[in-house]
Amino acid sequence: MEDRIEKIFSEARRLSLTADEKSAGREMLRSYMALTPMVAPQQTAKKPAFGFARAWTHKTAAAFSVSLAVLLSAASVSYAAEGALPGDLLYPVKVGVNEEVRATVAVSAQAKASWEAERAERRLAEAEQLATRGRLRAETRIAIEAQFRNHAERAQKGIAELEDSSDIEAAANVNAHLEGSLRAHKKIIAMLADDSNDDDDTQVNALEASVDHETQAAEEFRGKNEARVAAEASTEAKTAAEGRRGAAVRKIAEVRAYLAANRASLGDSATAEAEARLDEADATVAEGNAKLDAGENGAAFALFAKAQRQAQEAKLLIRAGNELKIKAKAGGLRLDLNADVNAAANDRGDATVRHEQDGGAPAGSTDDGDQDAGKDRRIDVKTDLRIGSGEDRHGAKGGTDAKLDL
């Protein structure tokens, strides 16, 4: 009997990683180790059990301080690189080092997909920043757009894989993040569409099409995901809905904190808009709670996901207000913060913005000629950002004034 048990166990012990898996794991570990270097060993006298601790001599002390200095300066370079834009000296560090390292340390499938979604979002933010500075040229836009699509598609592939492995909650979580980001950027890009010079304008429009495409994919996925939850047994759907609620509540709290930190630079009316948006997200959560109490778990799941999306959108709109220096005038910059994000089907391509420069120049024909370099340039824009049906796309009702400081 003992022999038989041993034989069976030795059979089971044959399970192993493939050579490829093992070398991929080794590489991942090696990159991670480079990121987390050894600090000076603590002990000196005792014989080390695993040979890691070494006698602490002046020589090794010097060596450690040199490597520490190298690491610290590498760390400050990579920190400085975080704000870099395409064309900047440090941009390759941001994309090729910082982001790759983070991709390597994202171990779980959810973390990997989230990071891809985040990278897609970063590319859009870069394009927007370049556009507001009049630096978005065709070749840059094409490169950014290719990267954006690449990351968005990888995020979507990751989401689909999470769904396939029955991790519906994780899939919904990443998708809500991605979709919320895409929708916010769609609005921001639409706002920038008629801005500054013609070349940028063309580039921004081209980018908008790509964002549209990916947003649609995210919306389609959400539809399937929600249908799947609705079809689940009630206890499972309830657990899934409760999981989504947790994620939504956390996201709202995160964005409130973000808003609090940026209140000063954002200005009162944009702050009020963002707060209103977050209150709406809270209301959506309350609505979801009511559905949950009523046993309508599928509907509750969809509402909590919506709240999470609303919060993510609010966050990116706050950031755009901040970084792109889009400031509100009397009445506030209405980035259509009241639009029903659930009206997804009506929404595609219909968010319109009209900018009218001082002097009544027609939209889209802004003239660069009178801009002195270095002069603070203010363009009064008439913003009409609406979500509606395609027919009255160019209608002007509900327009509010906003000022674009460049």
| Binding footprint of another protein on the chain (CB under 8 A) | 1-2, 5-6, 8-9, 11-19, 21-22, 25-26, 28-30, 32-33, 36-43, 48-53, 59-60, 63-64, 66-67, 105, 107-109, 165, 167
67 versus 234: smaller Cβ distance to another protein: 67
State in angstroms the smallest separation of the CB of 63 from another protein.
5
State in angstroms the smallest separation of the CB of 162 from another protein.
11
Q: How far is CA 362 from the centre of its chain?
A: 34
169 versus 356: smaller Cβ distance to another protein: 169
Token couple for 16: 């192993």
State in angstroms the smallest separation of the CB of 113 from another protein.
13
Three-class SS string for the chain? CHHHHHHHHHHHCCCCCCHHHHHHHHHHHHHHHHHCCCCCCCCCCCCCCCCCCCCCCHHHHHHHHHHHHHHHHHHHHHHHHCCCCCCCCCHHHHHHHHHHHHHHHCCCHHHHHHHHHHHHHHHHHHHHHHHHCCCCCHHHHHHHHHHHHHHHHHHHHHHHHHHHCCCHHHHHHHHHHHHHHHHHHHHHHHHHCCCCCHHHHHHHHHHHHHHHHHHHHHHHHHHHHHHHHHHCCHHHHHHHHHHHHHHHHHHHHHHHHHHHHHHHHHCHHHHHHHHHHHHHHHHHHHHHHHHHHCCCHHHHHHHHHHHHHHHHHHHHHHHHHHHCCEEECCCCCCCCCCCCCCCHHHHCCCCCCCCCECCCECCCCCCCCCCCCCCCCEEEEEECCCCCCCCCCCCCCCCEEEEEEC
State in angstroms the smallest separation of the CB of 381 from another protein.
48
1 versus 330: smaller Cβ distance to another protein: 1
3 versus 139: smaller Cβ distance to another protein: 3
36 versus 376: smaller Cβ distance to another protein: 36
56 versus 258: smaller Cβ distance to another protein: 56
State in angstroms the smallest separation of the CB of 53 from another protein.
6
State in angstroms the smallest separation of the CB of 225 from another protein.
17
State in angstroms the smallest separation of the CB of 176 from another protein.
19
One-letter amino acid identity for 222?
A: R
9 versus 394: smaller Cβ distance to another protein: 9
29 versus 77: smaller Cβ distance to another protein: 29
State in angstroms the smallest separation of the CB of 38 from another protein.
4
State in angstroms the smallest separation of the CB of 96 from another protein.
22
Let me know: does 162 contact 113? Beta carbons within 8 Å: yes
Residue with tokens 């059990």: 49
52 versus 360: smaller Cβ distance to another protein: 52
Q: Which residues contact 41 (CB under 8 A, 6 or more apart)?
A: 52, 53, 54, 56
